[in-house]
Each structure stands twice: as C-alpha cells, then as structure tokens.
Amino acid sequence: MSDLEDKDLHEDEQYKDKLTPLQFEVTRNKATEHAFTGEYWNTSDQGTYLCICCGAELFTSESKFDSMCGWPSFDKPLNEEQLVEEVDTSLGMVRTEVTCDSCGAHLGHVFPDGPPETTGLRYCINSASIDLKKSDDN
C-alpha cells in the first residue's frame, strides 16, 4: 500500500457515511460503548472479526472468551502485525490502547489479565469497532 493510500484510510471524514454514529465515535474519536450493550459481547457465533472501518481481519471466534467484563474479549489477535498498541493515559489511568494498523480505528484496550493457560492477555474490544464474518458452519 502506498503512503498516499495509507493516509487516505486514516482520514476520518470518509467514514461518516459508512458508520453508525456510535461506530464513528468509537473508532474515530476513541469513545467506548457501554458494557453489556454491544452486539458481540455475548455471542458465540463462529467466524472472523473484521475492522468495521476497513475490513481487516483482527480476531477469530476461537480466541474469544467470556471475561465477564461486558465487552467482547479475545486472548490473541489473528495477526499481531494488524494491531497497533499505544500507551493511553486518558481517564486518569495507564492502559494499552489497541488500534487497527490499516486504518487507525480505535478498537479497545489490551490488559494482562486474560486466561493464563493461553496468552494471559485480554483484548477488550468494542463491538462497535468490529464486524463478525460468520463461518459457513453457522
């Protein structure tokens, strides 16, 4: 991808007509949806979770687990290079923000309190930032 194409994917205005107001606020303005309200927090459907803005593949249903936090939680990304992690000091705390490498969409945060038998990580992701491409098995 050229630098010009990459820059175009990061331009927020192009997403205003494509996304719902909540999706836009979450992905482009780093908002957070309310716990236990998102479409995917409690789903067990099989498939691949894509970035709602650019369609990049982010997580699989195999890595999803119930963390009881009210947001979809995953123990690992499908492709680590697809996620960018940055320190987030908003709201008076230090967290690690997770964004999509392709388009800069805010996805959520990653915490070191995931399942110890796997990665020990919990990618706490806003449902508004992802779209589930269901497997043919569903």
DSSP, collapsed to helix, strand or coil, labels residue 52 as: coil
DSSP, collapsed to helix, strand or coil, labels residue 5 as: helix
Catalytic residue among 51, 53, 100, 124: 124
124 is catalytic: yes
* Residue-by-residue DSSP string for 60-115: EGGGEE--SSSS-EESS-S-GGGEEEEEE-GGGS-EEEEEETTT--EEEEEES-S-
Which residues are catalytically annotated?
A: 124
